[in-house]
Amino acid sequence: MSKHQSCLVLNAGSSSLKFSVFRQQAAAGNLNAILTGQISGIGGAARFEAKDADRRQLADHSWDDSEPMPREKLLRFALHWIHEHLVDDEIVAAGHRVVHGGKEISAPLRIDAAAIDALEALVPLAPLHQPHNVAAIRMLAEIYPELSQVACFDTAFHATQPWQARTFALPKELSDEGVCKYGFHGLSYEYVTHSLLAARPELANGRIAICHLGNGSSLCAVQAGESVDTSMSFSALDGVPMGTRCGALDPGVLLYLMREKQMGLEEIEDLLYRRSGLLGVSGISNDMKVLQETDDPDARKAVELFCHRVAREVAAMAAAMEGIDALVFTAGIGENSPAIREMISRRLGWLGVQVDAARNAGRQFEISAADSRIPVFVVPTNEELMIAKHTLAVLNPGVGHA
């Protein structure tokens, strides 16, 4: 019996490596996730976990942290396990989530030596993420030199933004060398846009504000299917507060910290990326679910601040589009927390947003009240599936994947 052709998707972060395998159902052109998993705790007590399509645990293996396993050995372990486990599948391609494509790369990129150099050159724009993405691509190329690889970018979907949305009010030389807005979560916005427009084709030319609210959060203004503005900008720090990231901050605060507290680069980086956001404000947790289950007044403040800032940003997206025809919630918080959706929507009543309590609690696809001027949707995101689709489309141009 011939094997199924499958696509491996990798999302390599600083301390974790998430993977999924999508099988092509040849006749229908469909892609189904048959395996998902991750290596967590890289650099310390690493753990390998894998689940099947029904979220049943297939593997759970831990290493102690007395002698941390090198990243490459962990990747080799995962690849070997996948190979051994998937006896009916042949991995024909690998797609990678890559955080930054810079100004030039606005589409998925087939990997060769020149492409790896191009991705490496973008490390200064995303020093905390890009090196891990590139390292995974290099390692895979060494382990499986024959395997076709494709890089899919968090920035690419935003390449359609007009210059006003992309440009900081800084001297032109800085903009020209790439100090400008890029935006992230693009694979999520692309997936959610396609998914919404497939279900509601009448919105194809509409103005849609998408709230991607997870550990990392941002918003995107999508007009006629294209990104025209977004809340994250040069780095993944801008916009709304996140689990541990501060969101938009007066740059004067940084000058103050440097001048008055003599804080250096690494201390400031740690403060803005790891000690701020929901964690910083609450002093309790970066996890929205934990904060919502706590009575502590500082936890409530963190949640309120988050909702206040997301609602403000929805209005900013509406201004960028000169109107709004739909509001969408997605990602961990957006998909799973009726209370947060309600708190944000309540602040947007003046804009014509009204959520129906029962639909919202029941997590229906459309959660707006019958008389809401703006329809409100919950659309689950799936960045991995988007990557698998892009990867196979780059390698087999002309073959559609549903």
Q: Site residues (CB under 6 A) for ligand ADP? A: 214-216, 243, 287-289, 292, 331-333, 336-337
The whole-angstrom separation of Cα 148 and Cα 111 is 7
Of the pair 40, 336, the CB lying nearest ligand ADP is at 336
Of the pair 24, 155, the CB lying nearest ligand ADP is at 155
Task: Write out the chain in H/E/C secondary structure.
Answer: CCCEEEEEEEEECCCCEEEEEEEEECCCCEEEEEEEEEEECCCCCCEEEEEECCCCEEEEEECCCCCCCCHHHHHHHHHHHHHHHCCCEEEEEEEEEECCCCCCCCCCEECCHHHHHHHHHCHHHCCCCHHHHHHHHHHHHHHCCCCEEEEEECCHHHHHCCHHHHCCCCCHHHHHCCCCCCCCCHHHHHHHHHHHHHHCHHHCCCEEEEEEECCCEEEEEEECCEEEEECCCCCCCCCCCCCCCCCCCCHHHHHHHHHHHCCCHHHHHHHHHHCCHHHHHHCCCCCHHHHHCCCCHHHHHHHHHHHHHHHHHHHHHHHHHCCCCEEEEEHHHHHHCHHHHHHHHHCCHHHCECECHHHHHCCCCECECCCCCECEEECCCCHHHHHHHHHHHHHCCCCCCC
| Minimum distance from residue 285 beta carbon to ligand ADP (Å) | 8
The whole-angstrom separation of Cα 328 and Cα 335 is 10
| Minimum distance from residue 288 beta carbon to ligand ADP (Å) | 4
Of the pair 81, 184, the CB lying nearest ligand ADP is at 184
Of the pair 335, 356, the CB lying nearest ligand ADP is at 335
| Minimum distance from residue 233 beta carbon to ligand ADP (Å) | 18
Residue 60 annotated among the catalytic residues of the structure: no
- Between the alpha carbon of residue 155 and those of residues 164, 229, 259, 382, the distances in Å are 17, 12, 33, 16
Of the pair 149, 337, the CB lying nearest ligand ADP is at 337
Cβ contact 300:293 at 8 Å: no
Of the pair 231, 337, the CB lying nearest ligand ADP is at 337
Of the pair 118, 136, the CB lying nearest ligand ADP is at 136
| Minimum distance from residue 287 beta carbon to ligand ADP (Å) | 4
Residue number with the shortest CB distance to ligand ADP? 332
| Minimum distance from residue 68 beta carbon to ligand ADP (Å) | 22
Of the pair 32, 215, the CB lying nearest ligand ADP is at 215
| Minimum distance from residue 216 beta carbon to ligand ADP (Å) | 5
Cβ contact 376:353 at 8 Å: yes
| Minimum distance from residue 356 beta carbon to ligand ADP (Å) | 19
Catalytic residue (one of 154, 229, 238, 325): 154
- Between the alpha carbon of residue 297 and those of residues 135, 259, 399, the distances in Å are 43, 32, 54
Cβ contact 105:156 at 8 Å: yes
| Minimum distance from residue 210 beta carbon to ligand ADP (Å) | 13
Q: So which residues are the catalytic ones?
A: 154
